[in-house]
Amino acid sequence: MTSSKTLKIAIPIIGVIAIGLFLGITFASNSTDPSSEESLENEQENNASVFQEDPNLQNSSSVSKEESPKLVGEITITQSSPVVDTVKEDQLLKKTIPKNFKFGNFFDNGSVIGMGVSELQNADQIHSIKFTNRHDGQINGITLHLLPFVERGVIVGIQEDNGTGVPSGNWINDDSYVKKIVKPREGKYHFDVPKSVPVSKGQVYHIVIQLDPVSNLQLPSEENSDKIVSSSVMVLHYKENTPNQPFNFEDPDIYWPDPAINSLQFDGETWMTLDKWPNYLLTFDDGKVDGQPYTLIANWVVQENRPIGQTIIPHSDYNVSKFGFLVSKTGNPTDDLYYGIQDNNDTILAGGLFVEADDLTEKPTFIEITLDESIKFNAGELYRLYVYSPIPKGEDNYNLFGHEFSYDRTVGYGGEINRLTTSSDFENWGAWYDADAVFSLTTEG
């Protein structure tokens, strides 16, 4: 099957961001190689490369041409793969999906974005995670990623917006905040709110974080006083805005952006909008979990005819006319990058050239292709979208990028039914449980 393609935004990889071993946070500089079966179970810290956005972002040119069918149609499928995930019929929403509608697990203009931090140095400074609440209910817990250098007390709670985009300065109720000692090397912290906080759907709120001025501060002993140790606590977030798509519990097929979401910092006199995508989770009395669970973008190596992509189980019927992935190349691959779409019976629904090697560089580029014929995705049935290449294992290869979790994976794109997926033979598929590919789908116009 032939297809047309469009090159979108290209961004160079600057390098790996490391937050020192003193903090207990380590990131491997190598990319993820799905050829190892063990790698499917690896945790995020052991398999992820973290990148910065290039400040000199430029648009690549658009390319549209015809390619002849190649390789996908030559794959011989000899057995069916088992059903990996299903959605019960009575759980399917089956709504009408708009035409020419784009959804998926997004990013900011194709940016490949790593981790960043905001620093709280004293009790006068305040950090805020601003968000639009999407659920009427009672918040009973908050999960954050904090990086203290020493044991330090923090205060965390919920405040309303004052109408100008900053916290009101007042806790919603007397028990809507919690004080807790945070310790180095722990990273992720859950704060149980003493009294559940009532919140309304559609309203803007703030998770407010500040240092406890009366907490015991454990500094180095007198004999080690020559060692400089910061008493700061750092709040983890993405380096820039990157609107990836957390789980939409009202309709998992539909993208629901939060125009208010952001990170803010108060320096003791003035609030500043940081334009950094925050990381947090909220738990509710009724068991729902919401928030932004992704903490970084990583790359998966594509080579040896091992497909890598995303599984999709739609909640509603729709026809797909376009789809895209964020990809790059390393070195000089000797063959092109190809794509396939197949159902859970291993029927190949579409396939062909995804992008030629000469059209990629080491700069991650979002490639979106238009199918010659739209493909119907039926509610409740599993589909796999993937890329692959026959190039041999080595330093010359391709990369597919995805978001990885430090938090609850049930809050990722589509919950647990949609996942980044890999295979060694196009027949036996494994799910990468702590990741979702960066991808898009567009319905037929």
Q: Which residues contact 301 (CB under 8 A, 6 or more apart)?
A: 31, 32, 33, 34, 35, 397, 398, 399
Q: Where are the domains of the chain?
A: 3-111+298-443, 117-238+247-292
Round to the nearest angstrom and report the end-to-end CA distance of the chain: 20
The structure's pTM equals 0.73
Exposed, middle or buried, 287 (CB in 10 Å: 0-12/13-18/19+)?
exposed
CA–CA dist 430, 84 (Å, integer): 9
The rounded distance, in Å, linking the Cα atoms of 85 and 123 is: 48
CA dihedral 30, 33, 38, 40 (to 10 degrees): 100
Give me the phi and psi of 36, to 5 degrees please: -90, 120
Instruction: Find out whether 230 and 217 touch, Cβ atoms under 8 Å.
Output: no
Rounded Cα gap, residues 129 and 131, in angstroms: 7
CA distance 315 to 177: 37
- Residue 141 forms beta bridges with which residues? 192, 283
Render each residue's pLDDT in the chain as its tens digit; 445 residues: 444 433 333 332 322 333 332 333 333 333 565 544 333 333 333 333 222 222 222 222 222 222 322 223 233 222 333 334 566 666 666 777 778 888 877 665 545 556 788 999 999 999 999 999 988 999 999 999 898 988 889 999 999 999 999 999 999 988 889 999 888 877 789 999 988 999 999 999 999 999 998 755 444 444 444 444 457 899 988 776 666 666 666 666 776 778 899 999 999 999 999 988 898 999 999 998 888 888 777 899 999 999 999 999 888 899 999 999 999 999 999 999 999 999 988 899 999 999 999 999 998 899 999 999 999 999 989 999 999 999 999 999 999 998 887 667 777 777 777 889 999 889 888 888 788 898 999 998 6
Are 279 and 238 within 8 A, CB to CB? yes
| Residues sharing a CB contact under 8 Å with residue 366, sequence separation 6 or more, in sequence order | 8, 9, 107, 110, 324, 325, 326, 438, 440
Look at residue 242 in the predicted model and tell me its pLDDT.
Answer: 63
Length of the chain: 445
CA distance 138 to 140: 6
Token pair recorded at residue 118 = 């905001």
CA-based nearest residue to 387, from 360, 444, 426: 426
Instruction: Match 């999960």 to its residue by tokens.
Output: 143
The dihedrals phi and psi of 185, each to the nearest 5 degrees, come to: 75, 5
Q: Quick one: which H or E segment has residue 115? A: strand 115-120
What is the maximum span of the chain, computed from C-alpha positions, in angstroms? 73
The number of angstroms, rounded, from the C-alpha of 24 to the middle of its chain's C-alpha atoms is 22
Neighbours of 270 (CB within 10 A): 8
Question: What is the secondary structure of 163-197 as a DSSP string?
Answer: SSSSEEEEESSTTSEEEEEE-TTT-EEEEEEEEEE
Q: How buried is 70 (Cβ within 10 angstroms: 0-12 exposed, 13-18 middle, 19+ buried)? A: middle
Q: What angle do CA 34, 35, 40 make, to 5 degrees?
A: 45
pLDDT at position 51, please?
Answer: 25
Angle, CA 399 vertex, CA 74 and CA 246 arms, to 5°: 105
Q: What angle do CA 279, 286, 154 make, to 5 degrees?
A: 40
Which pair of tokens denotes residue 152? 């330090």
H runs (alpha helix) in 25-149:
44-47
Find where tokens 């405040």 sit: 159
Print burial letters for 418-433: b (CB count within 10 Å at least 16), e (below 16). bbbbbbbebeebbbbe
A 10 A CB-CB count for 392 gives: 13
CA distance 52 to 36: 27
Give the span between the Cα atoms of 319 and 371, in whole angstroms: 11
Half-sphere exposure of 344 (CA within 13 A, CB side): 16
- What is 117-238+247-292's CATH number, 1.10.150, 2.60.120, 2.40.50, 1.10.260? 2.60.120
Q: How many CB atoms lie within 10 A of CB 272?
A: 12
The predicted structure's pLDDT at residue 85:
56
HEC string of 308-319 equals: EEEEECCCCCEE
